[in-house]
Amino acid sequence: MPQLTIDSLGTYEIPAGRRLINAIIDDARADQHYSCGGQARCTTCRVQFITGEPSKITQAEKDLLVQSKITEPGIRLSCQIECDRDMTIKVISPKPPAKNPNHPADEIVPPAVWTTK
C-alpha cells in the first residue's frame, strides 16, 4: 500500500488507487477543502506536492489548472489524483468553518482521461 505523508500531520497507509482527496479527508482526517465535491470544478482541493507527484494528469485537471492560471510547480488537485505511489504533500487549502456539502465519490469525476503534464 502506498504511504501518504502530510506535512506536519503524519504518515498513513492508503489503499492503492484511492482518490487522494478521500485519503486526505477520510484516512488522515486532515482539514481539506473540496467545495465542488471532487468534480474538477473549483480548485479548492489543491495541495502542494513535496515528493511523489504523479506525472500523469487527468485532462479535466490539466484544463482547470490552465483556466485558473495555477502554474506553481507541484500544485495539483487532490480530487483528480489516485494514490498509486508514496507521496508527501502539504495541505494548502483548508476547509472553511462551514461543513463541506458533498463528499467526493470513490472514483474520479469526471471519468478520468489520463494525459501527461
Residues that bind ligand FES (CB under 6 A): 34-36, 38, 40-45, 77, 79
> What is the residue whose three cell numbers read 483556466?
67
Distance in Å, CB of 12 to ligand FES, minimum: 20
* C-beta of 14 vs 45, nearer to ligand FES: 45
Distance in Å, CB of 74 to ligand FES, minimum: 16
Distance in Å, CB of 117 to ligand FES, minimum: 17
* C-beta of 5 vs 35, nearer to ligand FES: 35
Distance in Å, CB of 22 to ligand FES, minimum: 11
* C-beta of 11 vs 102, nearer to ligand FES: 102
* DSSP letters spanning the chain: --EEEETTTEEEE--TT-BHHHIIIIIS------TTSSSSSS-TTEEEEEE---SEEEHHHHHHHHHTT---TTEEEGGG-B--S-EEEEE-SPPPSSPPSSPPPSS-SSPP-EEE-
* C-beta of 5 vs 78, nearer to ligand FES: 78
Pairwise CA distance, residues 109 & 106, whole Å? 9
